[in-house]
């Protein structure tokens, strides 16, 4: 009798603890840890670091004009997002970042919750370009998007947390006066990149 009571109490306590532990973890669904990449800023000649959490997204949404079509699209796109996290590093020479840096990111995306929907490998103009797109979804609802783009001299990680419309996202390129980024050039001349935390070139 005492043994039964003890085991029932233990099971109930374990259940409660498991549920309580799951609560904070629930809010982080779809988010990957990319803070480890900040150590690459010392080696890079250019770094873009964008961290937009839910409160900042809501603040930005208030300042987006509904009457301007592009801004209205952005407002609609970010209305249910929980966060947008971007890291982009550009290096002067090839080989200045290792696969170990990217493997740390990829290891978080090997869980069953994430599925790789696009994997692209290209060697154009002697640039090894790899782009992997990962999606976390629960049924028809997208919980998160992760994009890893590696080149010989650049490395980009994008993590969007929350339900995102990929079609609407792809339509935003080249808008708002921000030039598109130089990832792959198929023939045209490179366009200037936005100045964000640009470091002076190493002497």
Find the part of the chain contacting another protein (CB under 8 A) among 19-27, 33-41, 93-101, 106-114: 19-27
DSSP letter for 31, please: -
80 forms part of the interface with another protein (CB under 8 A): yes
Find the part of the chain contacting another protein (CB under 8 A) among 35-43, 97-105, 106-114, 178-186: 178-186
**DSSP string computed for 38-63:** GGGGGT-SEEEEEEEEHHHHHHHHHH
72 forms part of the interface with another protein (CB under 8 A): no
| C-alpha 111, offset from chain centre | 16
CA distance 25 to 150: 29
Residue 176 or 203 having the CB closest to another protein: 176
CA distance 146 to 29: 12
Contacts with another protein, 83-112, as mask; x by CB under 8 A: -xxx-x------------------------
Residue 115 or 122 having the CB closest to another protein: 122
CA distance 166 to 77: 9
Secondary structure of residue 66 in the 3-state scheme: coil
Residue 19 or 140 having the CB closest to another protein: 19
**DSSP string computed for 143-203:** EEEEEEEE-SSEEEEEEEES---HHHHHTTTT-TTPPPP-S--SSSPPPPPP-SSBPPPP-
34 forms part of the interface with another protein (CB under 8 A): no
Task: Choose which of 64, 113, 152, 198 interacts with another protein (CB under 8 A).
Answer: 64
Give residues in contact with another protein (CB under 8 A).
8, 12, 15-16, 19, 23, 27, 48, 50, 52, 54, 56-64, 66, 74-75, 77-80, 82, 84-86, 88, 118, 120, 122, 129, 131, 133, 145, 147, 149, 156, 158, 160, 166, 169-173, 175-176, 178, 180-181, 183-184, 186, 194, 196
């Amino acid at each position: 009798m005492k043994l039964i009571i003890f085991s029932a109490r233990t099971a109930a306590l374990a259940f409660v603890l498991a549920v309580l532990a799951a609560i904070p973890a629930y809010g982080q669904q779809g988010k990957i840890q990319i803070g480890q990449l900040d150590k690459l800023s010392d080696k890079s000649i250019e770094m873009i670091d964008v961290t937009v959490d839910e409160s900042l997204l809501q603040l930005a949404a208030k300042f987006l004009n509904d009457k301007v079509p592009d801004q209205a699209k952005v407002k609609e796109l970010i209305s249910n997002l929980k966060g947008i996290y971007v890291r982009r590093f550009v290096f002067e020479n090839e080989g200045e970042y290792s696969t170990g840096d990217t493997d740390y990111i990829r290891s978080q995306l090997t869980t069953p919750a994430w599925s790789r929907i696009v994997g692209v490998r290209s060697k154009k103009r002697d640039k090894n370009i790899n782009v992997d797109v990962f999606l976390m979804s629960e049924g028809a609802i997208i919980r998160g998007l992760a994009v890893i783009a590696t080149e010989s001299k650049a490395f980009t990680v994008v993590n969007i947390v929350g339900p995102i419309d990929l079609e609407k996202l792809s339509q935003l390129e080249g808008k708002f006066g921000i030039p598109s980024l130089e990832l792959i050039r198929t023939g045209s001349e490179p366009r200037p990149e936005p100045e964000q935390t640009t470091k002076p070139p190493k002497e």
